[in-house]
Structure 1
Amino acid sequence: MFHFATRKIIEILQDINLSIPKGSRVGFVGETGSGKSTLVDIVMGLLQPTEGSISVDNVLVNQKNMSAWQQHIAHVPQDIFLRDSSIAENIAFGVPREDIDMLRVRDAAHQAQIAETIEGWKDGYQTVVGERGVRLSGGQRQRIGIARALYRNADVIVFDEATSALDSKTEEAVMEAIGCLSQNLTVLMIAHRHSTLRVCTEVIQVKNGEITSAGSYRNFINNTSQNARCEP
């Protein structure tokens, strides 16, 4: 479980008190500049709070153990960087070719719901993706990004508006893959489109550096609809 107890974080976030249970799916939503990305950057150890503390399983996260904590986190951005090499090398990104564990590659691909597609290609996991993955569709690139995160055996996966550039049908396929991930994984999602949040167990709305609401996806949608009806 992560726990935040902060009064101020680098002059952007204030009075944040948040706990995230292991295995939960938490979505962060808010307008550009609201502070949602800053909050998740704190989780990943990319930024340090000026006041307050962060703990994981009741252990305070500090400069001494920050690197160890980051080893448990994987990040799936909106734009997945793919090298002009094989599917296997892109899933096991950064691992020398001779050290790639193909069992882990296949397992990660299955969890990311792309194994059937890969194994249907002539060269399978040795298929070369082309420069920046030009031979793959947007949805395939995103699922390769998910498989890459899973190959790391991360405990926490952060999706940073990972489906915002996809069309609705492709987003649906990627969200299905996310929904099928192990319940032992903690998933954090920064989202722009509200539909992306439907797999979340909790949706946290951030506005002007503060958490303005936290609850289920259904409550979030109901509140959003009600506020929209009240606007002149």
Structure 2
Amino acid sequence: MTRGRHLIVVRGGPGTGKSVIALRLLAAIPRYGVKARYVTPSGTLRRQLIRAVTEADAAGLFVYLKDHVARRPKFAQVSLVDEARRMKRSGNYVSQLMSISRVCVLFLDERQIVRPDEGLTLAECQAKADQLGAICHTVELTAQVRCGGSLDYLKWLENLLFAKGGTGSTLTYDIGLAQNPEDLGNWVEERNRTDTRQESPPASAGTGRRQAVFAHGTMTSPSRGRTSTVT
């Protein structure tokens, strides 16, 4: 990578490994003598990561977005911004991040918008990089690391959420909404017991049923002005 400032946009849908890549980079970058920070606008995600870290001195690696840009660290660094779509448009955060980072990596899914005042697109990132005199790079993630990499499930989910009218799934799926992990576990166990009592043709025959569980979320029609995030 040439000298100067670089804005790297890593795009991918749910389950394509954005957060995993961000965490792996956080561990790998210091080996080259460069300091990195995992930055997120999601306070919930940051708290979960800090709770999961076993080494005491690693907690400072996970930074809330507002705190990160406010402190303006003096050392040259890489800012790894996960869930970049959650950045508020009014915050001008891309410019602030680029002013304190030689390299800024944005992990982005343009379609997962939680609130009306949030959101970021690749075109906006490219325009901002040009304005700041930075070089913009794009990385597209297409492989799926969840659901055993099932393309059939991804097709079904794509049609469910975005209704593009593409080729449908050869399987049918059950959807359940769980309010807490205990309810989720009970729901899965009950569906498994039901499936074992029924004789179903093998999936290779092009029929059958699989389970899709959406926990801790609500599904709202985009036509009503809100789009929910499904994880």
Normalising by structure 2, report the TM-score. 0.35
Task: Give the greater-gyration-radius structure (CA).
Answer: 2
Normalising by structure 1, report the TM-score. 0.35
Higher relative contact order (CA 8 A, sep 6+): 1
**Greater helix content:** 2
